[in-house]
Amino acid sequence: MSGLPGADRVVIAGAGVAGATAAETLRKEGFSGEIVLAGAEVDEPYRRPALSKDVLSGKIDIARARLRPPEFWASQGITLLTGVSVVDADTTRRTVTLGDGQTLGYSALLLATGGRPRALPGTSGSRVHHLREYSDVPALRTRLTAGNSLLVLGGGLIGSEVASTATELGCQVTVLEAQDRPLARLLPALVANAVAGLHRSAGVQLCTGVALTALDADDRGVRATARDGRTWDAEAAAVAVGMTPNTELAARIGIEVDNGIVVDELLRTSADGVFAAGDVANTPNLVLGGRQRGEHWNTAQEHGVAAAKSILGTGSPFDSVPWSWSNQFGRNIQVVGWPDADDELVVRGDLDALDFTAICRRGGRIVGAITIGRPKDIRAIRTLIGASPEAEAKLLLDPSTDLAALANQDVVTRR
């Protein structure tokens, strides 16, 4: 590889789904220069969502979770560097420094550095686990033998999935959640409570309103202590209290950072020729206004496509409505848009039976929806959010209203 500044080369920091998709898209869109995809992890790009599901349960190994077969990258003329970080960059000279000591020139640099688990201060030890990378899996997996006890700190998406997988492996799982219900940040109360019911009926001990003051660990087990004096003992703990975007590199090279790397609608950062994508990117929300940083697979993937096109000068403003999913106790939960705890809910179906679509409205417009068991609704509502958010609650509530037809009709009407 030539180390000369200004070479016709795109360097991508981070080989998660955003970075890997950008690399693939550059080629698909006809870029003929060099593409260097540098990833800090030693594993080739893989489906991260599988970590808390089939990989943790042992149903599949990491090779089956790979995004592409190993020969793919070279066949596309993409230089994949695994176990190599981008440690520095000079945005004036357009060079990056890699962890292996190389300095490379770039014509465009994409920061797709994702995030890392937020740590609870003072919690460490071989029985305290986090889950973000494949390298976190083997140690956590050894704790999940039938009959073992596990404390899950945090009832968000990843905590809930770990609780589900561990319970299905025969562990006694206790979830400690600071809010008054799990998934409180992600879902309105009625829906979150329905999911909480699913966990409880599967045998998870769900403790809410827990203000943790300590998590002590030694070589025999862990003990969590709450401010009100309650304690919980277990053989191990999984800490899942959110993630922190990896913005250090961006900040060090003088790029604007505020809850992630700040980008415009074309995913351009504050430095010329530098773009950001995926969980680390804080983007304008072109549908609802304001800004947002997503933490979803599909958004990161779409960012990868959008960033590649922006790099090539063929991009268009990123206005996609987010869509994500989670698997817990055999149920597929899908979320679209930007649901909020305080939204007005229009529920189609039966919450208690876990067969429903809950449509979220705010200020008279549809802003999101959650479903269990009705994935077709989610596709329709994704269209409605972008194309016709004012659909009346009465119409939405009517079980005879075909949401897909409604969405298509609106798309047609608006053309």
Ligand X SMILES: Cc1cc2nc3c(=O)[nH]c(=O)nc-3n(C[C@H](O)[C@H](O)[C@H](O)COP(=O)(O)OP(=O)(O)OC[C@H]3O[C@@H](n4cnc5c(N)ncnc54)[C@H](O)[C@@H]3O)c2cc1C
Q: For 298-316, give the DSSP string.
A: HHHHHHHHHHHHHHTT---
Residues 6+ positions from 139 with CB-CB distance below 8 Å: 126, 129
Minimum separation from the CB atom of position 324 to ligand X (A) = 3
- Which residue's CB is nearer to ligand X, number 250 or number 346? 250
Minimum separation from the CB atom of position 235 to ligand X (A) = 21
- Which residue's CB is nearer to ligand X, number 113 or number 396? 113
Find the radius of gyration of the CA atoms of the chain. 22
- Which residue's CB is nearer to ligand X, number 128 or number 346? 128
Minimum separation from the CB atom of position 243 to ligand X (A) = 7
Contact yes or no for 304/278 (Cβ under 8 A): yes
Q: Report the distance separating Cα 324 and Cα 336, nearest Å.
A: 6
Structure tokens at 6: 């200004």
Residues present in the chain in total: 415
**Three-state DSSP class for residue 107:** coil
Minimum separation from the CB atom of position 41 to ligand X (A) = 4
- Which residue's CB is nearer to ligand X, number 183 or number 406? 183
- Which residue's CB is nearer to ligand X, number 86 or number 163? 86
- Which residue's CB is nearer to ligand X, number 14 or number 154? 14
H/E segment holding residue 239: strand 236-239
Minimum separation from the CB atom of position 298 to ligand X (A) = 6
Which of 375, 65, 335 has its CA nearest to residue 186?
335
Instruction: Enumerate binding residues for ligand X (CB under 6 A).
Output: 13-19, 38-41, 48-49, 51-52, 85-86, 112-115, 131-132, 158, 246, 249, 278-279, 295-298, 300, 324-326
Q: Report the distance separating Cα 342 and Cα 306, nearest Å.
A: 31
Q: Report the distance separating Cα 365 and Cα 378, nearest Å.
A: 16
Minimum separation from the CB atom of position 403 to ligand X (A) = 22
Q: Report the distance separating Cα 283 and Cα 298, nearest Å.
A: 15
Paired sense of beta strands 172-176 and 149-153, if any: parallel
- Which residue's CB is nearer to ligand X, number 326 or number 383? 326
Minimum separation from the CB atom of position 415 to ligand X (A) = 30
- Which residue's CB is nearer to ligand X, number 49 or number 182? 49
Burial string for 89-115 (b: 16+ CB within 10 Å, else e) reads bebeebbbebeeeeebbbbbbbbbbbb
- Which residue's CB is nearer to ligand X, number 41 or number 410? 41
Q: In what order do the strands lie in the sheet with 205-207?
A: 128-129, 236-239, 149-153, 172-176, 205-207
Burial class for 204, CB neighbours closer than 10 Å (0-12, 13-18, 19+) = buried
- Which residue's CB is nearer to ligand X, number 22 or number 224? 22
Which of 333, 345, 329 has its CA nearest to residue 190?
345
Looking at 37-178, list the stretches that DSSP marks H as alpha helix, in order from N- to C-terminal side.
54-57, 72-75, 137-143, 157-168
Minimum separation from the CB atom of position 218 to ligand X (A) = 26
Neighbours of 412 (CB within 10 A): 9
Minimum separation from the CB atom of position 230 to ligand X (A) = 28
Minimum separation from the CB atom of position 195 to ligand X (A) = 14
- Which residue's CB is nearer to ligand X, number 125 or number 325? 325
Strand partners, 337: 368
Minimum separation from the CB atom of position 220 to ligand X (A) = 27
Structure tokens at 129: 């686990």
